[in-house]
Amino acid sequence: MPKPKKTKKTNEVKIKKEYSSLGEFVKRSLPSDEEVKKFDEFTEEEAREEDIEESLSEIYEDDKGGAVDVKKLDIKKKRGFFFWLFSFLFMGAVLAGTVYGFYYIYYEKGTSISDIQFSIEAEKNVSAGEEFFYTVDYKNLSNIGIGDIEIKLNYPDNFIYLDSVPAPELNNNSWNFNNLDAHRSAQIKIKGKILGEKDESDIITGSMTYVPTNFSSSFKKEAAFENSIGGIGIDINIEAPSGVLVDEESEIIVKYKVDEDDNYLNSFRLTVEQLENMKWVKGEDDSVINGEWQINEITEDEQEISIKFNIFEKIEQTENLIFKFEYSEDGENYYKFYEEEIGLEVIKSDLNLNLIINGSRNDQGVDLGQTLNYSIVYANKGETEMENIVIMAVLDSDVIDWQSIDDKNNGQVGESIITWSKEEIPELALLDTGEEGIIDFSIDLLPFDEIELESGKKYEIKSYAQFSISNIEAKENEDTKSNTIINKINSDLTLDEQVRYFNDDNIAVGTGPLPPKVGEVTSYKIYWTLTNNLHELENLKVSVNLPENVSWDNKNRSTAGTVKYNDSEREITWNVGRLPISVYKAEAEFNISLMPTDEDINKIMVLLSGTSVEAVDSETNSIISKIIKAKTTRLEDDIIAETDGRIVK
């Protein structure tokens, strides 16, 4: 709209009416009361219609604000009385279960006697005399405390108590405690040792009594634990004859030494119960007192006890001697850790025959290829002379080389027997009272490469002597046989040792000059190969000491056991331990080096000064021991090296 113009005379503002709506408003007349009323009614109707439209829009809109298809109508049923009743009951049951579960977990279960735990633990396997701990654990997993706690243990009979934490109240096996709070635990540790035989099982039992807080009754928990003895720590071997002569001195040898793997015993007592028809024969160094021998030191070197006795009357055909080995901490209480029973055939005859093999009347292990030296001692112990005596030696075995027999008396050889009469030995024509004689002969065992390993074959030699007399009949309860000796064949353990500069493929496994030179280092490879077939071996060890100027050069490996070098003793050892039959071969190798001096010029030097191998045959209980001759710079085992081994400048 145009702005009004100002006049110069009056300074008034003049408005053109033709351009103003105000003029029109002034011209119109005011509405009447009826018109005002109708206008109010009209505006109210308009507002009501808008409210209805908004309400309908809300009804026909979905959750996302979109239009609803009214052609499709879903009718929802109204939930009735039973629905709300069952809903109420279900919710009540859930609530009640929740409350009860909470109550059971935190109150009922928390006060149950089953929430008290009591247990005993220890090492499953221990050696005789080895110190170990029994650990007693008791735990209160409930929500209330317990009091008046008493714990009692029943130890195995062969358990030696040493100490415990805490200290016991009574007899080293009873403890009392005032209380144990909720969710708390405690422990008792008992130190001791067990003395018993190998593989023996020992059981400790215990009980715990207690009274829960706000209870008047006591409750009880019990526990037990079983462990076993893995070894006794001493190698024991008893050598005894299978038969003894009446009124003749007999001897049993007990050999013992430390078992390096699990020895915890430094002494023992040996007791042998004396038979009613037996008396002890005391030797020069024998400290026997009523069949007891006290040994106060056990070493790695084998020692022996000689037990001499005399059976002066034959009561039974076989007499049994029981050898009992015991250990004591205080000299009063003794615990048995080894026992062995030996059966002896009692032989009574006017003609005493005594068989000896390799200087012993006892059973012993022998090696294939070994020579057996036999002696048959005969003596007339009767009251009259004996005429036309025939003596026969029986050698029952599959491994005897009968072609190798050496008998200066030329006895008659039959199937597994040798017989002598007055034709071979004139003294057997007449043997007066008190007279005696001896028959000596020898025979070889077959070497290993000449026997076939078959099941059922007798890898042993059972030997005895027997006699007949023409003018005297055997009396009742008398025998015509000698003692019997069983020689079991030791396993065929062999050690092959090679000192090489070149291997079989002509590849150098050594280093340095060949032949060796003064001031320079030459290295050699050593190969050890063990083979074994017949029996399992134990405590198998190979060892050798290095000479001067020869050094350990390491680079070792083995298929079994470990190879180690002791610098202070200059000793190389290969500890194999146990070698079962399933492992017929074991190998090891290592390097040594040599640096000659001016004094060694033109000399053949020793590289290995005689390697030894030793093992215990598990079947014969014999110690197998062999020594290999020394090896030198000539390299006797290395055909590729082609050296005379002399040191050059």
**What is the per-residue pLDDT for 584?**
86
As a whole number of angstroms, the distance between CA 151 and CA 153 comes to 7
95 pLDDT exceeds 80? no
Residue type, 562: T
- Token duo for residue 247: 């009124």
- Over range 130-143, report the average pLDDT: 95
Q: Are 643 and 634 in contact (CB under 8 A)?
A: yes
As a whole number of angstroms, the distance between CA 374 and CA 406 comes to 10
b/e 507-526 (16+ beta carbons within 10 angstroms → b): eebbebebbbbeeeebbbbb
**What is the per-residue pLDDT for 252?**
92
As a whole number of angstroms, the distance between CA 104 and CA 98 comes to 10
Is the Cα dihedral 598, 601, 607, 609 positive or negative?
Answer: negative
* Cα separation values, 623 from 179, 490, 505, 543, 587, Å: 60, 9, 37, 15, 21
As a whole number of angstroms, the distance between CA 257 and CA 337 comes to 15
As a whole number of angstroms, the distance between CA 90 and CA 70 comes to 37
**What is the per-residue pLDDT for 371?**
96
Q: How far is it between the farthest Cα atoms of the chain?
A: 200
Confidence band of 51 (pLDDT split at 50, 70, 90)? low
Report which of 520, 504, 79 is spatially closest to residue 512, judged by C-alpha positions: 520
Beta bridge mates, 372 = 443
Each residue's pLDDT tens digit, 419-429? 999 999 999 99
As a whole number of angstroms, the distance between CA 488 and CA 537 comes to 14
As a whole number of angstroms, the distance between CA 147 and CA 177 comes to 7
**What is the per-residue pLDDT for 286?**
55
Report which of 216, 226, 126, 134 is spatially closest to residue 175, judged by C-alpha positions: 134
- Over range 445-471, report the average pLDDT: 85
Q: Work out the angle at residue 164's Cα, subtended by the Cα atoms of residues 158 and 167, and round it to the nearest 5 degrees.
A: 125
Report which of 278, 284, 340 is spatially closest to residue 309, judged by C-alpha positions: 278
Q: Which residue has the higher pLDDT, 282 or 343?
A: 343
Phi, psi of 138 (to 5 degrees): -135, 135
Q: Are 111 and 143 in contact (CB under 8 A)?
A: yes
Confidence band of 123 (pLDDT split at 50, 70, 90)? very high
Confidence band of 17 (pLDDT split at 50, 70, 90)? very low
As a whole number of angstroms, the distance between CA 277 and CA 320 comes to 12
CA of residue 288 relative to chain centroid, distance: 37
458 pLDDT exceeds 80? no
Report which of 621, 627, 560 is spatially closest to residue 236, judged by C-alpha positions: 621
- E strands present in 557-638: 557-558, 562-566, 571-579, 585-594, 606-608, 612-617, 623-627, 631-632
- Taking phi over 0 as left and psi of -120 to 50 as alpha, with beta for the rest, 553 belongs to alpha
Rg of the chain over CA atoms, in angstroms?
52
627 pLDDT exceeds 80? yes
Reduced to 3 states, what is the DSSP secondary structure of residue 387?
Answer: strand
As a whole number of angstroms, the distance between CA 19 and CA 2 comes to 9
**What is the per-residue pLDDT for 32?**
56
**What is the per-residue pLDDT for 9?**
41
Q: Are 490 and 617 in contact (CB under 8 A)?
A: yes
Residue type, 81: F
Task: Say what percent of the chain tops pLDDT 90.
Answer: 59
As a whole number of angstroms, the distance between CA 11 and CA 286 comes to 164
**What is the per-residue pLDDT for 302?**
87
- Over range 474-493, report the average pLDDT: 83
The helix (run of H) or strand (run of E) holding residue 95 is: helix 81-103
Each residue's pLDDT tens digit, 262-315? 789 999 999 998 999 999 987 665 556 678 999 999 998 889 999 999 999 999
As a whole number of angstroms, the distance between CA 22 and CA 35 comes to 22
- Token duo for residue 419: 């017989």
